[in-house]
Amino acid sequence: MRTLRHLGGFVLGLVATAALLAGAGWAVQQAMANTQAPAGQPLWIALGAMAAVGLVTGLVTAGRVSPLAAFVPSMALLAWTVVYALDMNRALSFIPAEPSMHQILRDAGAGARTLLTSGVYALLGVAMFIPVLMPSRWARRDDYEDEDEDYEESRQGGYY
């Protein structure tokens, strides 16, 4: 059963990685493109997409799912940041920019470039890696409930 939990966490991590890379990149590009105009519908859509990506990131980071759900996107973001630090041209070559690509993917790539070069992906990668280090995230909730049943509860009440 534990393996199934971690498999689900891995799949959720892949979805969160796609949301962070494509969704956040597209939202940042759209928000930056609409900063000169008054707050219109495209800006609100971009801000809503950013909020949705933030919600997914927060749920993956703080939720009681497998720690692999936070580990997979954190490693993708940190690895891409390390590649950027070591070889900038190679890291930027991973971003879709060809005219044959769909416009949405090119917008997401332009936003991802902004997030990568500004260090936001490094920040998010470290923030999502911290919960992986906590041992309580690797154990199931059932493991803790079984330990609590070993102790007898007194009927007289506690100290407080």
Query: In terms of residues, how long is the chain?
Result: 160
What dihedral do alpha carbons 83, 50, 18, 66 form, nearest 10°? 100
Nearest to 73 by CA among 32, 140, 31, 24: 24
pTM, 2 dp: 0.78
Q: Name 140's Cβ contacts closer than 8 Å, sequence gap at least 6.
A: 1, 2, 5
* Most distant CA pair in the chain, distance: 75
91/97 Cα distance (integer angstroms): 13
Which residue in 115, 101, 113, 95 sits closest to 50, CA to CA? 115
Q: What is the pLDDT of residue 152?
A: 55
pLDDT in tens, 80-89: 999 999 999 9
| CA-based end-to-end distance of the chain | 39
Show the low-confidence residues of the chain (pLDDT under 70).
1-2, 36-39, 140-160
